[in-house]
Amino acid sequence: MFANLGIAVAKFAGFLITRSSSLLAESVHSVADTGNQVLLLLGGRRSRRPATRLHQFGFGRERFFWSFVVAIILFSLGSLFAIYEGVEKVLHPHPIDSVPWAIGILSVSILLEANSLRTAVHESRPLKGDGTWWGFIRRSRNPELPVVLLEDIGALIGLVLALIAILVAAATDNGVYDGVGSIVIGVLLGVIAVVLAVEMKSLLIGESATPAAEARIAAAVIGSPRVDTLITMRTQHLGPEEVLVAAKVQFDAELTMAELAGVIDEVEARVRATEPTATRILIEPDVVRPEGVRPDADL
């Protein structure tokens, strides 16, 4: 957050010196990124509030909500402003002042953003595993890391585009290229914002646990010696590290009511030991239905 704030100040100072629309677009981009970090921190703080009578499963989805808001801000503040400023510069071009200042500020910003991206990659790699980075962004139930990764990638590409636009504008003495650079940066931010909004919307609506987590949960249930069959199971993320598990299970028919209660407690303990994110577990004893009758009709 503070790195983005410092970069925003440096870019805006560069804009005041050079009057480059590409630098102004990047300044607004960094201001938006700083605000995004604030919102992500706010979401993380609010998600840790204890459950209430109205919100009985807690506030874990606050992190999804504020990440969705981040996508909207990135689009409205970053993308639309950059496109607007670029169109204005194309329609009313003017030469760039103090080109060496612009190149210097952008070069330092590129180094800082590259270091920020390296940190984000380092933090994300353990969660990514052996999959692709695009797969990690699409499948991750942790909203903050994909947001930061895409922000940093967008910022780095945007800085390179701004540098190219300023160099071409200076070489040709034509400020139109500076405006074109701002428009391209705006389009880039818009694409990133749409990707983020789509992924965060999916989390807000409610995504299941990952296939690997569901397999571990099912194995823990079936592994109990007094369980005959796992009839059906549904999962949903209540937060990045909180999963609701609802399952219909057929138990040993010879169990008494007291024994059944004890076995259910034992199954829940096995599930939590195997998959710590399974914080809410609802197990309903049932029997396998005749073919054609849906066992999950009331799940």
Full DSSP string of 75-141: IIIIIIHHHHHHHHHHHS--PPS-HHHHHHHHHHHHHHHHHHHHHHHHHHHHHHTTS-HHHHHHH-S
Q: Is residue 177 exposed (0-12), middle (13-18) or buried (19+ Cβ within 10 Å)?
A: buried
Judged against a pLDDT cut of 70, whether residue 153 lies above it is answered with yes
H or E stretch covering 4: helix 2-18
Q: Where in the chain is the domain with CATH 1.20.1510?
A: 2-205
Q: Which amino acid is at 289?
A: R
Cα–Cα distance between 285 and 268 in angstroms, integer?
A: 13
| 8 Å CB contact between 83 and 164 | no
Torsion, Cα of 19, 23, 25, 28 (10° steps):
-100
Reference 225, options 257, 258, 259; nearest CA is 259
Question: CA-CA distance, 261 to 223, in Å (whole number)?
Answer: 17
Q: For 67-108, what is each residue's pLDDT tens digit?
A: 888 888 777 777 888 888 888 888 888 777 778 888 888 888
Find the length of the chain. 299
Average pLDDT over residues 147-159: 85
Lowest mean pLDDT among 48-52, 247-251, 258-262: 48-52
Q: Quick check: pTM over 0.85? A: no
Architecture per CATH, domain 2-205, reads as Up-down Bundle (1.20)
CATH 3.30.70.1350 in the chain: give the residue spans: 211-285
CA distance 237 to 97: 52
Angle of CA points 119, 121, 124, to nearest 5°: 110
Q: Which of 71, 53, 76, 51 is nearest to 61 (CA)?
A: 51
Q: What are the φ/ψ torsions at residue 41 (nearest 5 degrees)? A: -65, -40
The architecture that CATH gives domain 211-285 is 2-Layer Sandwich (3.30)
Question: Among 32-36, 209-213, 224-228, where is mean pLDDT lowest?
Answer: 32-36
pLDDT at residue number 220: 95
Name the token pair of 63: 């992190």
Q: Sheet holding 227-239: strands in order across?
A: 227-239, 242-251, 278-285
Q: Which of 27-36, 207-216, 243-252 has the lowest mean pLDDT?
A: 27-36
Tokens of 68: 């969705």
Across the strands, what pairs with 244? 236, 280
